[in-house]
Structure 1
Amino acid sequence: MTTLAQLKAGQLAGATRLDLACGLTEFPREIFELADSLEILNLTGNALTSLPDDLHRLTHLRVLFCSDNAFTELPQCLGQCAKLSMIGFKANQISHVPAAALPPQLRWLILTDNSISQLPDELGQRPLLQKLMLAGNQLTQLPPSLANCANLELIRIASNRLTHLPDWLLTLPSLTWLAYAGNPVEMAVTVTGDDGTPNIPWSELELGEVLGEGASGIIHKAIWKPQALPVAVKLYKGTITSDGSPLHEMQACIAAGLHPNLIKVQGRVIEHPQGQAALVMSLIDPSYRNLAALPSLASCTRDIYEPDTRFSLDVVLRMARGIASAAAHLHLQGITHGDLYGHNILWNATGDCLLADFGAASFHATADTLETRALQRIEVRAFGVLLGELLERGEGAVSEDLIELQKSCCQPDVLARPSFEEIEGVLSSI
C-alpha cells in the first residue's frame, strides 16, 4: 500500500494506480500531481465524506474505489470525469444518488451495502452499463429506463425491498447473472430448518487448516470426530457481500439437495460458541481446481483463463454435460444459481466437475410461468457464455451441434433460448 508520505514527497510521479488507506478525512490535493498518468484510484477504508469538485482534472481516471468510507451521497463531481467507467462505493452511508454523479462512460457501478431507496432514471441513459451491484440497500423499484441498457449483463439486487421483478428486467437481451434473494418478491418460497439436513454440534468438529476464503465466509479442513471423517466446514460471515446475504447462500446450499455435480452438504452446524452460522460439506479431492479466475477490471464480466489453457473435446463435453445437469437439477428445485461462471466450477483433468458457490442463488416458483421460464433462461445464457469459453480453448474439430447450441443459449430473445432439459438432450446426442 502506498503511503501518504510518499505521495507528499513527490515519489509517485508517473503512477497509473494509487492506493491510500490511512484514515483520510479529506482528499489529498497532492493526488492532482498525478493527473497526467493516474488511471486507478483506490481510497477504500478511509473516513471520507466528499471528493473535490475539480476531480475531473484527473483526466485519465478510469476506476475509482471509495468503499468503506462515510459518504452519504454519491459525489456529483464523478459525472464530470470523462473517462471514468468503474465506480465502487460499497459500505458507505449513501442514501442519495444524483443523476449528475453518473459519468457518460459508466460501465460498472458498485453501490452495495448502503441506504439507497431510489435511483435516478438517468441510469438507463448510460449505454455502456454492463455490471450493476446494488445488494443490501432499500430499493423498492428499479428505474424503468434500465430497459434501454442492452449491454447490462450482471445485476445484484439481493437484500432490498423489491416486491416484484419488473417485466423489462426479464427481457434484457444480455442479462446473464442475476441475484435477487432476500427481497419480498422471493418470499413465496421459504426454506425452514425442518429440511432433513442433519444438525452437527460444533463440539463434534475439529478444525484444521484454512482451505479458502471468500466474501461470504472461510472454509476450513476439519474432522467430523464421531465419523472420523475428513470434511470441509464453511463458517459464514454475517455481512452483506456484493452478491447478497451469506445466510441466503447457506439456505440455497441446503435446498439444492444432492447431485453428483454439486458439493454435498453433510449437515448444519449448531451450538457454535459465538452463534456463527456454518455448514459441514464433503471434502473435495485435491485433484480438483478452479476452472478460471475472477473477472478483472478490464474484462468486467468475463473470467480470466490461464493463457495456455486447453481442453480436449471429450473434456469440454463432459464438463458441459455436468454443469447443464447440475443447473437443470437446481431449476427443478426452484433455484437459480445466479453466478454460473468458470471461477465457480471445480474440475479435474478428466472433466469431472462441481458447480460451487451459492452466494448469488435465488429462489423462484417451481410452477411453469413466464417469469420462471425467463429467470431460468437468463441462467441459460450464463451456460452459453461458459460453453463458448470452453470451445474457444478446445483442441480438435468442434461439433457444429455444439456451436449451434452455444449460439442458441446466447440469443437475445430470452424465451427463445432452450431450457436446461433441452440442453441436456442436445449434449447427450453428441
Structure 2
Amino acid sequence: MDTLAQLRAGQLSGITRLDLACGLTEFPREIFDLADSLEVLNLSGNALSSLPDDLHRLTRLRVLFCSDNLFTELPDCLGQCAALTMIGFKANRIERVPGAALPPLLRWLILTDNCLSELPTELGERPHLQKLMLSGNRLRCLPESLRDCHRLELIRIAANQLTELPEWLLSLPSLTWLAYAGNPLETEADAAALEATPSIPWSELHLQQQLGEGASGVIHQAVWKRADHPATQVAVKLYKGEMTSDGSPLHEMNACITAGIHPNLIRVEGRIVDHPQAQAGLVMQLIDPSYRNLAGLPSLASCSRDVYANDTRFSAGVGLRIASGIASVAEHLHQHGITHGDLYGHNILWNEQGDCLLGDFGAASFHATSNSLESRALQRIEVRAFGVLLGELLERIDSGLSDEGRVQLEALQQRCCQPDVLGRPGFSEIIGELNGR
C-alpha cells in the first residue's frame, strides 16, 4: 500500500499502479503528477463521494477501483477516460449510473452491493463489455440494450428484485458464467434436502489451522468429536454473511447441501448449529493435501480467463479424466436443478491421477428440473463454461493423445462453445463422447 506522504513527496514518480487507503475525503490532486505512467488506480476503502471532472488527464488509466467509499452516483468524468476498461465501485451507496459515466472501451464493470434500481440504455452500447457484476442491488429489470453485448461472458445479478430472466439474456452467444440466486424469479432450494441435512453442534467441533479464505467465508481444519464415535478430521466453513460479487453466502450454503453426493463433489457432513455468534457454517470432508487448484483466478489482463502456471501439463489420461469428472458432476447438478455459475479451473481441485473435485458454490442458482426452454438454455450456458475448460485442458495435454483424438475433442469443444445456445450438446451427450473415445 502506498502512502499519501510518498505521493506528495514525489517518491512515486513513474509507477503504473497506485493504492491509497487512508481515509481520503477528497481526490489528491498530486495523482495527476503520475499521468505519464499510471495505469491502475485503487482508491478503495476511503470516504470519497466524488472524483475530479478532469480525471481524463490520466490518459493511461485502464483500471479504477473505488469500492467501499461513499459515492451515490457513478461519476460522469469516468466516461471521458479514453483508456479506461475496468471500473470497480463495490459497496458504495450508488443509486444512479448516468450513461455518460460509461467509458467507450468499458470491458469490466463492478457495481456489487449498491442501491441501483435501474441501469442506463448506454450500458448495452459498450461493445467490449465482457464482465458485469451487479449482485446486491434493487434491479427489477435489465436494459434490453444488453442484447447487443455479444462479448458479454460473465454476469452476476444475484440478490436483486428480478422477476424473470429475459429471453435475450439466455441467448447471448458468449454468455458463460451466470449467477441469479436470491431473486424472485429463482426456483426454491430443495426443502427436503435442507431438512434432511444433519445438524452438528458447535460444541463438537474443535477448530485448528485456517486452510483458506474466500469472499463468502473462512475454512478451517477441525476435529469433530462425537459421543460413541472416533474423532474425525474435517473441514469447517464459516460463512461471513456479507454480500459477495457472486451473491449471498447463505444461498451458497443451500446449494452445497442440495447438490447431494457425487464423487466429484466435496461431501457435506452437516450444518453447524448453536454457534455462539449464530454464524452459519458447514462441516465438510477434509480434502487430501495431494489435491491442488487447477488454475489461478483471472487477472486484470485476462479478465474472464483463468491463469494457469506455465508448467501445467497433463497426459491425455489425466486431462480427460478431469474433463470427464467435471462433465459428470455438472450433469449431476443440473439433474438437481442447480447451475454452478462459476465452472472454472480455479474452482477445481485435482491430483496427479486426474481425480478432481468441483468446489465454490458462491455463484450457484436454482432452476426448474423440468425440460423447459429456460432450463435447457441455463444448462447450455454452463456447457459453454465446460467448453472453455476443455479447451484449456487440451492446450496443456502434451502426451498420449492421437491426432485423430485431438481433432475429435477439438470438435466437441467447438460445439460446446458455439454461439447458438440451444444448439450446444447437453452434458449427457458430452459424457458419452468423452467416454466413447
* TM-score normalised over the length of structure 2: 0.97
- Give the secondary-structure state (helix, strand or coil) at the position aligned to 2:191: coil
> Quick one: distance in 2 between partners of 1:31 and 1:215?
30
What residue identity is the alignment partner of 1:124? Answer: G
Task: Give the counterpart letter for 1:218 in structure 2.
Answer: V
Instruction: Tell whether 2:176 aligns with 1:176.
Output: yes
Structure 1 residue runs of 4+, over 2 Å off?
Answer: 187-195
Counterpart of 2:433 in structure 1 is 426
Cα distance in 2, alignment partners of residues 395 and 187 from structure 1: 43
- What secondary structure does 2:195 align onto? coil
Report the 3-state secondary structure (helix = DSSP H, G, I; strand = E; otherwise coil) of the residue aligned with 1:377.
helix
1:358 aligns with 2:365: no
CA shift, 1:188, in A, is 4.9
Relative to structure 1, the CA distance from residue 189 to residue 282 in structure 2 (aligned partners, 3 Å threshold; closer, same or farther) is: closer
Structure 2, unmatched stretches of 5+, are none
After superposition, what is the alpha-carbon deviation per residue over 1:352-411, rounded to whole angstroms, capped at 9, x for unaligned?
A: 000000000000000000000000000000000000000001113451221111111000
Q: Which of 406, 414, 417 in structure 2 is aligned with 1:410? A: 417
Q: Distance in 2 between the 1:263 and 1:189 partners?
A: 19
Name the CA distance, whole Å, in 1 between partners of 2:40 and 2:191.
42
- Contact 2:221–2:236 (CA<8 Å) still a contact in 1? yes
Question: Which residue in 2 is equivalent to 1:367?
Answer: 370
- 2:347 maps to which of 322, 326, 344: 344
251-260 vs 180-189, which moves further:
180-189
Question: How many angstroms apart in 2 are the aligned matches of 1:375 and 1:334?
Answer: 10
Alignment of 1:36-47 (within 5 A): 36-47=36-47
CA distance in 1, matches of 2:348, 2:391: 15
Matched, 1:377 2:380: yes
Q: 1:47 to 1:128 in 2, by over 3 A?
A: same
8 A Cα contact 1:191 1:251, kept in partner: no
Aligned mates of 2:434, 2:309 — CA distance in 1 = 26
- Classify 1:305/1:194 alpha carbon distance in 2 versus 1 (closer, same or farther; 3 Å): closer
Unaligned 5+ runs, structure 1? none
1:219 aligns with 2:219: yes
1:60 aligns to 2:60 (yes or no): yes
SS at match of 1:160: coil
Q: Distance in 2 between matches of 1:191 and 1:73?
A: 40
Cα displacement (A) at 1:350: 0.5
- For 1:200, what is the secondary structure of its paired residue? strand
Aligned to 1:109: 109
Partners of 2:356 and 2:218 in 1: how far apart?
22
Q: Which residue of 2 aligns with 1:242?
A: 245
Q: Superposed, which structure 2 residues align to 1:138-287 within 5 Å?
A: 138-189=138-189, 191=191, 194-226=194-226, 227=229, 228-287=231-290
Residue 345 to residue 193, structure 1, CA distance change in 2 (3 Å): closer
Asked if 1 retains the 8 angstrom alpha-carbon contact of 2:194 and 2:258, the reply is no
Pick one of 302, 309, 320 that aligns with 1:317: 320
CA shift, 1:147, in A, is 0.3
Deviation, 1:190, is: 5.3
SS at match of 1:185: coil
What is the TM-score with the length of structure 1 in the denominator? 0.99
Amino acid at match of 2:414: K
- 1:86-138: CA deviations, max 9, x gaps? 00000000000000000000000000000000000110000000000000000
Q: Cα RMSD between the aligned structures?
A: 0.9
What CA distance in whole angstroms lies between the structure 2 residues aligned with 1:344 and 1:15?
Answer: 33
* Residue matched to 1:26: 26
Structure 2 Cα separation of the partners of residues 375 and 14 of structure 1? 47
Q: Give the AA of the match of 2:282.
A: L
The one-letter amino acid of 2:347's match is N
Q: Can you list the C-alpha shifts for 1:214-244, whole angstroms capped at 9, x where unaligned?
A: 0000000001111400000000001100000
* 1:257 maps to amino acid: G
Shift of 1:187: 4.2
Per the alignment, residue 297 of structure 1 pairs with 300
Distance 1:269 1:424 in 2: 35
Q: Counterparts of 1:320 and 1:153 in 2: how far apart (Å)?
A: 21
Amino acid at match of 1:346: L
Task: Indicate if the aligned counterparts of 1:178 and 1:339 stay in contact, CA closer than 8 A.
Answer: yes
Amino acid at match of 1:365: A
**How far off is 1:189 after superposition?**
4.8
Q: Is residue 100 from structure 1 mapped to residue 81 from structure 2 by the alignment?
A: no
Aligned: 1:16 with 2:19: no
SS of residue matched to 1:268: strand
Structure 2 distance, partners of 1:90, 1:185, is 24
Among 312, 331, 347, the alignment partner of 1:328 is 331
Please give the alpha-carbon distance, in whole angstroms, between the structure 2 residues aligned to 1:124 and 1:354: 36
Matched, 1:388 2:395: no
Check the 8 A contact 2:253/2:282 in 1, yes or no.
yes
In structure 2, do the counterparts of structure 1 residues 192 and 65 end up closer, same or farther at CA, with 3 Å as the change threshold? farther
Q: Distance in 2 between matches of 1:372 and 1:243?
A: 20
Name the SS for the 2:215 alignment partner.
coil
CA distance in 1, matches of 2:150, 2:182: 26
**Contact 1:189 / 1:365 at 8 angstroms: preserved in 2?**
no
State the distance in 2 between where 1:218 and 1:342 align. 20
Question: Partner of 1:120 in structure 2?
Answer: 120
